[in-house]
Amino acid sequence: MNDETTRLLIFDDAKATARAAAERFAEIAGESVRSRGRFSVALSGGSTPRRIYALLAGDEFRARVDWSKAHVFFGDERCVPPDDEASNYRMAQDALLSLVPVPVENVHRMIGEGDAVANARLYEDELRAYFGDVPSPSFDLVMLGLGEDGHTASLFPETPALDERGAWVAANWVEKLGAYRLTLTASVINSAAHVLFVVVGAGKAQCLNEVLNGAREPRRLPAQLIRPVRGTLEWYADRAAAAKLEGGEK
């Protein structure tokens, strides 16, 4: 799998994986600010990133990112208010954003409460305000997780957003959740300079092997849609999640 733009790195455990991801985050942030004077990142949600965000907010990493030049976006959001315990914004706010000096106006929350379709359009406006009127916004970094069903961001198997062409943000009806989710579309993620998946735990092993080594079935395994056009694609996994990868190091 490893070539000049795609890498799979396997770490001993979840803690080592999170630390490596924090290191990569800081590296990309520094590179972006040095070359373009700013850093745009779309954060992933769920539980895995919490440990990464806590490291970034901690003494070892906090000063390594010029937060005054960082713009924080979200890869996806649950359709709940920002103070809901399911909110990706709330998790990132609690674990990272309230603990680092990122200007409040630089945190671009997806509005989870209210009309999902309208909120998807509003977020697209927010992206255009930052990236300008470009064919597709190019984040410096998009962080992603992997669901055991092969979803990433809120691109769930067999859902309408997988077919989205042109829109940057989708209000994706997820039948099995009985709910809408807001999500960046695959084409936006694939326009990023760097995409970093972080996958830990034995529960992800089967799916990770199918995504990386199985047949190409992106409607069943939407994470397979993620193929950056020009950017890098990196998978950081712990040994437990990598346990079913055939042939060891890829």
Residues that bind ligand 6PG (CB under 6 A): 44-48, 75-76, 88, 145-147, 151-154
Task: Please identify, using beta-carbon distances, which residue of 90 and 151 lies nearer to ligand 6PG.
Answer: 151
As measured in angstroms, the least distance from the Cβ of 244 to ligand 6PG is 16
3 state SS for the chain: CCCCCEEEEEECCHHHHHHHHHHHHHHHHHHHHHHHCCEEEEECCCCCHHHHHHHHHCCCCHHHCCHHHEEEEECEEECCCCCCCCCHHHHHHHHHHCCCCCCHHHECCCCCCCCHHHHHHHHHHHHHHHHCCCCCCCCCEEEECCCCCCCECCECCCCHHHHCCCCCEEEEEECCCCEEEEEECHHHHCCCCEEEEEECCHHHHHHHHHHHHCCCCCCCCHHHHCCCCCCEEEEEEEHHHHCCCCCCCC
Q: Whole-number minimum distance, CB 198 to ligand 6PG, in Å? A: 8
Q: How far is the CB of 33 from ligand 6PG (least distance, A)?
A: 25
Residue nearest to ligand 6PG (CB): 145
Closest approach, Cβ 67 to ligand 6PG, in A, equals 22
- Smallest distance from the beta carbon of 60 to ligand 6PG, in angstroms? 22
Residue 45 or residue 228: which is nearer to ligand 6PG going by CB? Answer: 45
Cβ-based nearer residue to ligand 6PG, 36 or 219 = 219
Nearer to ligand 6PG, 208 or 245 (CB): 208
Residue with smaller CB distance to ligand 6PG, 8 or 92: 92
